[in-house]
Amino acid sequence: MNSKYVSSSIRYLGVFAIFLFCGLSMFFSFIERDIPDERIKNLLSYASFFENGFYDFRVQKEIKKHLPVENIVLVKIDDPTIQAIGTWPFPRTVYSRFLDRLKEFGAKVAVFDIIFPEKALSCNDGSLSPDTIFAQAIVNFQADPDKKVILTYSLADNTEQGFKEMPEDLYNFIMDTQQSGEAGLVEELVSHETYPIKELVDAGPALGHLNHQEDSDGVFRHYRAVSNVGSLYLPSLGVIAYQHYTGNIPKLSIHSDGTASLKAGAKDVPINARGEAKIRYHGGEDKFPSVSLIDLIKENPDREKMTLALKDKLIFLGSTAVGAHDLRNTPVDAKLPGVYFHMNFVHMLDVGFYYQEINDSIQYSLIILILGTIFLLFLQKFDYPILELAGVLFAVGGAYYLDQHYFTPNGYEIRLFFSMNSFVLQYVWSTFLSFYQSNKDKKQIRGAFSRYVAPTVVNEMLKDPDKLKVGGQKLDITCMFSDVRDFTTISEALTAEQLSTCLNRYMGRMTELVFKHSGTLDKYIGDAVVALWGAPVPFPNHPQKAVEAAVEMINIMPEINDDFRKNNFPEFKVGIGLNSGECAVGNMGSELIFSFTALGDNMNLGARLEGMCKPYGSKIVISEYTFGRIDHDVFTCRVLDKVRVKGKTKPVEIYEVFDAHHPYLKDLDSYHRYHEAYRMFHQKKFKEALAIFEKLNLKYGDVPTERLKTYCEEFIASPPGADWDGVITFKTK
């Protein structure tokens, strides 16, 4: 099967899997709270965790544009109030004074975000009890038919905390309901632990419940608008407050799927199976006016200020004091006093500032996801990473722009995080596949080429394919030429198979040492090994590395020859020449066939130096250009001669690098005497030099000493002319 087809199939399957995962996560995030099974809800909560965080971020951006509300006012039970009154909970007489002042300053509706489930403590001295005074204050406030006091109660999940039957007083607050089919909202009970005492209920206040449940991440985004108690539907504190403040009676429609909608004004508020509506927050403490309770009930309040603040307003009494522990984590503020939760909901109903039908939001969310996916798949056809990255940024930025300028202002709950996440994951998947395929191709190239060229060359080819083109560049390198002495004679004594075995063993070890010391194998020429240092990757200490490799090559020859002797193969003797300088380095040849190599005068000199090993009886010969760039504390060298090799007019001083077995390493006095005689020779003190060379030759009998001794004898017999420069010219390679 075509590998390109397989690769495309894997790419599209991955994109489809990402699309499916994000699409399902998006859908589950919409319906999560409508699922009655808590275990399934917890399992699916992952689908909305990140989305909710992103939703909160967008809410915070949106509310900055909102103007402060004027008609919903909070009377704060704040820290100064608690300090002034001196006790908490407050005596009921405080609430009586509160209602009296509200009536005095013309407030329309008074909502208590406080429960009164127990009777107040009082002395039996014949005077009215605090509860009676409070109840009378409620009656007095409601003397005007347009004014209303609203008390609260909570709901219960079990029969131990709830009334077995709904209290008779609540029948007065059953909502006008239209139901389709048998399905209804989740049933609950009225809690007897928080229900207002009879004395207060008999005063005729309106009643609303206040149970609310945070989302899976602990943030309050949904408001329990209605509750199902015995298949009868009761309003929340926010709904009943809206009703009495505006005069509009909300109507509840129960749908066959167990959801509902609350008609309050021109539009319907979507209600889920738990009776909840998602709050479209207007803001926190900075968006709603407030008055401190102590400023309202003190002896001489600022009447003009209070009248202006409270007249014809919907008043909430709630705690903002830290010690009252009524703080909630909301998209607006992580520690927002709970009373603002109700106030935001009432404002939402009052101005019609709520979210669109959930199905519309699902539809638009999927459209964004689908269009973005198609757009990115189209860009992947071009196989251009920068274009794909630009496409992802455009898709993410475009979706965010649309959400900020159209969807959020118009009340759509777009699941933007899942769409953006899908776009990014598709790009990551595409990039991963491209990276994987590229690495796979590189591995194949490396496997094929590393058998023929050095790993460094292969790596350079993989990093920069342009280096596969014919052409070179000028680089400072060190070149090495090594050769097996008398290889023709050796090859005549061996069969082809034996010769191949010997040569492979020898060249294998030599090549390993080239690579070990950061060299690049240039080529094999019969029994010769040509290597480079400083190319294709330049590095400053290439002469040092090259000489290290050469010395180790010579040092390892006894081990190789021991193996040869065990198999009755002849011994290999090796000569190595090294030179450093600028060469043209690169791929040389034609567009069809080329090889990585180096060319130039310095390469030719390196080859000639390898040829110098035999006449000087040396194993490693280097030029003065290499000698001057190595660490002489690491390598011991001796000068051999000043020569003019075949094909060159400029003389060069050549040196021998000692291997581990060189006799002069154990006789440094002879080593220094040799160099002393060499200096005398070039100073034309031939007799003095000859005396030293004769003693050294008798002791070691090495070729370089014998050559210099012979030169001295010749020049004593026939002194050179005044133009003698001490250079020996070689006519052959």
Looking at residue 403, what DSSP letter applies? Answer: I
* Contacts with 276 (C-beta within 8 Å, 6 or more apart), sequence order: 33, 213, 222, 223, 224, 225
């409270």: which residue's tokens?
310
What is the predicted pLDDT for the residue at 460? 65
Q: Which residue has the higher pLDDT, 411 or 578?
A: 578
For 672-708, write each residue's pLDDT tens digit.
999 999 999 999 999 999 999 999 888 888 899 999 9
Q: Name the token pair of 506.
A: 């020898």
437-463 pLDDT, tens digit per residue, is 767 766 765 665 565 555 666 676 667
pLDDT, greater one: 473 or 576: 576
Q: How many CB atoms lie within 10 A of CB 725?
A: 9
Residue 649's Cβ-count burial label (10 Å; 0-12, 13-18, 19+) is: exposed
More reliable by pLDDT, 477 or 29: 477
Closest listed residue to residue 418, CA positions, set 52, 32, 45: 52
d(Cα 289, Cα 306) in Å, to the nearest integer?
Answer: 12
Asked whether the predicted pLDDT for residue 626 surpasses 70, the reply is: yes
CA distance 118 to 505: 101
Using alpha carbons, select from 643, 529, 535 the residue that is nearest to residue 581: 535
* The CATH number of the domain covering residues in 472-658: 3.30.70.1230
Pairing of the two strands 232-235 and 226-229: antiparallel
What average pLDDT score do residues 636-653 get?
90
Average pLDDT, the chain: 87
Q: Where are the beta strands (DSSP E) in 538-644?
A: 574-589, 594-599, 620-623, 637-644
The confidence band for 112, taking pLDDT boundaries of 50, 70 and 90, is very high
Contact status, residue 196 vs residue 115, Cβ threshold 8 Å: yes
* Between residues 435 and 514, the one the model is more confident about: 514
Query: Among residues of the chain, what percentage have pLDDT more than 90?
Result: 53
* pLDDT-derived band at 128, boundaries 50, 70, 90: confident
Question: If you average pLDDT over residues 719-724, what whole number do you get?
Answer: 87
User: What's the rounded Cα separation, in Å, for the pair 682 and 578?
Assistant: 24
Q: What is the pLDDT of residues 341-390, one digit of tens each?
A: 999 999 999 998 888 888 888 899 999 999 999 998 888 888 788 888 89
The first and second tokens of residue 536, run together, are 């294709």
E strands present in 593-702: 594-599, 620-623, 637-644, 652-657
Distance separating alpha carbons of residues 565 and 576, to the nearest angstrom? 23
Question: Distance between CA 281 and CA 268 in Å, rounded?
Answer: 17
Decide: 73 and 289 in contact? Cβ < 8 Å: yes
Residue-wise pLDDT for 7-59, tens only, equals 677 877 888 888 888 888 888 777 776 666 666 666 666 667 777 888 888 88
> Cis bond leading into 89, ω under 30°?
yes
**Per-residue pLDDT tens for 382-402?**
878 888 889 899 999 999 999
Q: What is the largest CA-CA distance in the chain?
A: 153
Structure confidence at residue 1 (pLDDT): 46
Residues 6+ apart with CB under 8 A from 420: 396, 399, 400
Give the C-alpha separation, 720 to 712, whole Å: 11
Alpha helices in 34-124 (DSSP H): 38-44, 46-63, 79-85, 92-104
Q: Taking CA 535 as the corner, what is the angle to CA 532 and CA 541, rounded to the nearest 5 degrees?
A: 80
Q: Which burial class, exposed, middle or buried, applies to 632 when counting CB atoms under 10 A from its CB (0-12, 13-18, 19+)?
A: exposed
First and final C-alpha spacing in the chain: 57
d(CA 281, CA 411): 11
Run of H or E including 517: none
The pLDDT-based confidence of 471 (bands split at 50, 70, 90) is low
Distance CA 715, CA 639 (A): 20
pLDDT reading at 510 higher than 80 = yes
Q: For the chain, give me the number of helices (H) and strands (E)?
A: 23, 27
Host H or E run for residue 715: helix 703-717
